[in-house]
């Protein structure tokens, strides 16, 4: 007599496939949630750091304005500074995503192009939002420095 037990030795391919899909979905959700949490946290840290620097640089902007620099000149410099401050972590994060997915392909034996592209686009969009908010904050600081 063939006895079926709970150790999954007698499970069908469909059951095995469904279990693997559920486990992979859970792993992707956990990794995605932790990655998004890290992304938002690091973006906030960079943004608040820029806010603090903006407040401490306010007297410098007053001096530069008195020397004849226009608000547009100062904003161009600030935009370049923000591209540097947010661009390097963005580039490192995108490279990390790429190599993490490459290792996932090796470990799990499947290609994950769609999740990788979605994560990279989301990562770029969120970091861009933090960069834009930072430039807008600096714009306010420059106006107050007059």
Q: What Cα–Cα distance (Å) separates residue 42 from each residue in 101, 115, 136?
A: 21, 21, 19
What is the per-residue pLDDT across 70-91, written as a single tens digit (0 to 9) for each? 999 999 999 999 999 999 988 9
pTM for this model (two decimals): 0.74
Using alpha carbons, select from 39, 17, 30, 29 the residue that is nearest to residue 122.
39
pLDDT number for residue 134: 94
Residue 38's pLDDT band (cuts 50, 70, 90):
confident
Residue-averaged pLDDT of the chain: 84
Long-range contacts at 137-140 (CB < 8 A, ≥ 24 apart): 137/50, 137/51, 137/54, 138/50, 138/54, 138/75, 138/78, 138/82, 139/71, 139/75, 139/78
Residue 117 clears pLDDT 90, i.e. is over it: no
What is the per-residue pLDDT across 44-58, written as a single tens digit (0 to 9) for each? 999 999 999 999 999
In the chain, domain spans: 39-144
């Amino acid at each position: 007599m063939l006895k079926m037990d709970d150790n999954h030795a007698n499970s069908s391919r469909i059951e095995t496939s469904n279990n693997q899909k559920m486990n992979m979905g859970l792993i992707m959700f956990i990794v995605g949630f932790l990655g998004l949490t890290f992304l938002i946290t690091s973006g906030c840290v960079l943004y608040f750091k820029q806010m603090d620097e903006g407040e401490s640089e306010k007297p410098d902007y007053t001096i530069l304005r008195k020397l004849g620099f226009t608000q547009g000149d100062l904003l161009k410099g600030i935009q370049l500074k923000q591209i540097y401050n947010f661009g390097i972590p963005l580039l490192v994060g995108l490279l990390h995503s790429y190599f993490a997915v490459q290792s996932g392909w090796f470990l799990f034996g499947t290609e994950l192009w769609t999740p990788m592209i979605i994560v990279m686009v989301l990562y770029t969009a969120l970091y861009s939002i933090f960069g834009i908010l930072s430039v807008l904050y600096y714009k306010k600081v420059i106006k107050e420095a007059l």
